[in-house]
Amino acid sequence: MQTQIRHNPAFAAARLYLAPGEPARIESGAMMAHSAGVQLAANTGGGLMAGLKRSILSGESFFVTTATGGPQGGWIDVTSVLPGDIITLEMSPDRPYFVTRGCWLANDHGTEVTPKWGGMANLFGGEGGFGLQASGRGQVVLSVYGALDVMDLAPGEQVTVDTGHVVAYELSISFRMRRAVAGRTIQSVKTGEGFVFDFTGPGRILLQTRNPDALQAWLRSAGVSENPGGSTLGNLFG
């Protein structure tokens, strides 16, 4: 699989070029378009339990889409729900990543993306406890809300990051979670508001310049209802 990122930085789309018969796994609902001959199939990505683990634990869709190149190969375009960058991780077996919930878009057949426990810090920091582990050799495509920022930490180097701005980090990095400001209420524990990660290198951290949790909070403050029968635009402007 070869990946071409188009329309960066604000409204990116990733075009995945597939060889004849080559498969790629894609997040359900991420497909924008594909060339003639490319075949799509929905599956649980490893059986019923694998689908349940991915959906319940890591916050991804129960089904994943497998796109397979036709007799002459082909391409498929994938996009994210939120505006921002799309990035390609060039994976190697010795550098696995932890990926935050909702950031995975696609990966090739040489890599594996599976649910992973992120620790109690993620659970009480509003991140749900679980995310995804990306490993293997090949390409993993991730979506970013806003622009991408990259931090490379030297051994022992430390940095503090708001939990909502983390896209992914290498598993060589250690971290602890704490409140950004002492004295926050129990509501902070439920929502993750005001929590930060203290990361310690070595390793790479991928960040997004916008925070999806902050967007959700803003929408709630604007009176947007989560009622499936309601209209987001109607709640915002009606």
Architecture of domain 2-214: 4-Layer Sandwich (3.60)
Q: What is the C-alpha to C-alpha distance for residues 173 and 3, in angstroms, rounded to an integer?
A: 27
Any idea how long the chain is? Answer: 238
pTM reported for the whole predicted model: 0.81
β-partners of residue 153 are 203
Q: What is the C-alpha to C-alpha distance for residues 126 and 122, in angstroms, rounded to an integer?
A: 6
Residues 6+ apart with CB under 8 A from 229: none
What are the sequence ranges of the domains in the chain? 2-214
Tens of pLDDT along the chain (238 residues) come to 999 999 988 899 999 999 999 999 999 899 999 999 999 999 765 544 454 444 544 444 557 899 999 999 999 999 999 999 999 999 999 999 999 988 999 999 999 998 876 655 454 444 445 789 999 999 999 999 999 999 999 999 999 999 999 999 999 999 998 887 776 555 555 554 578 899 999 999 999 999 988 888 888 888 876 655 444 444 444 4
Asked if 107 contacts 139 with a C-beta cutoff of 8 angstroms, the reply is yes
User: Within 10 Å of residue 200's Cβ, how many Cβ atoms?
Assistant: 16
The DSSP call for residue 144 is: -
Asked if the bond preceding 202 is cis, omega within 30° of 0, the reply is yes
Could you tell me which of 189, 3, 167 has the C-alpha nearest to residue 78?
3
CA 122, 124, 127, 130 torsion-angle sign: positive
Q: What is the C-alpha to C-alpha distance for residues 175 and 164, in angstroms, rounded to an integer?
A: 15
Tokens 């990116």 appear where? 12
Q: What is the C-alpha to C-alpha distance for residues 135 and 93, in angstroms, rounded to an integer?
A: 6
Summarised one tens digit per residue, pLDDT across range 88-105 is: 999 999 999 999 988 999
- Structure tokens that stand for 202 in this block: 């070595």
- Chain-centroid distance, C-alpha 72: 31
Q: How far is CA 38 from CA 69, 73, 181, in A?
A: 5, 7, 51
Summarised one tens digit per residue, pLDDT across range 141-165 is: 999 999 999 999 999 999 999 999 9
Give the phi and the psi of residue 76 in degrees, each rounded to 5: -140, 135
